[in-house]
Amino acid sequence: MRVDELAPAPGSTKKGKRMGRGTAGKGGKTAGRGTKGQYARNTVARGFEGGQMPLKQRVPKLKGFNNPFRVEYYAVNLDALEALGAAEVTPEIMMAKGLAHKGTLVKVLGRGTISTAVKVSAHAVSKSAQKAIIAAGGSVTLLPLPHAIRPPAKGNQFTNR
């Protein structure tokens, strides 16, 4: 509903004020619009903000935004590592077995259980997965992130590149 769509309640009988019918009545001469100016001349469009960019154009059309520094990981769970049955697991082995895609970063998550000692090398590991791997007698090695996707050092995010 807009302001120009407001109407009196159905069945109401109050008559509107007769504006601009000569200088004798209370609504005469300037008819309640003050003197001069744009608002006295019946030329203001709905939503007009005096030349400022209107709200309906200032608000972005598309929702959300994409963080340029987001690091995307390919998730691999413990039950998948258990099914591999390997003593050592690296991103290359996961890619060869179809658990991860080529060129993606791998994160090990804690769904499922692991009973054998496994040496896991990944770009990221959740706390629950790390606990489970160490409890089973395995070890966790974090691989460094490639330079291209590492966020800039603190304080350098606004420098020219």
Residue 107 lies in a domain: yes
User: Which CATH number fits the domain that encloses residue 130?
Assistant: 3.100.10.10
Domain membership of residue 110 as a residue range: 73-143
State how far the Cα of 57 lies from the Cα of 153, in Å rounded to an integer: 36
Domain count, the chain: 1
**Nearest C-alpha neighbor of 89 from the set 71, 127, 116:** 116
* pLDDT tens readout for residues 80-98: 988 888 889 988 988 888 8
Give the global pTM.
0.52
* pLDDT tens readout for residues 109-141: 989 888 888 999 999 999 999 999 999 999 999
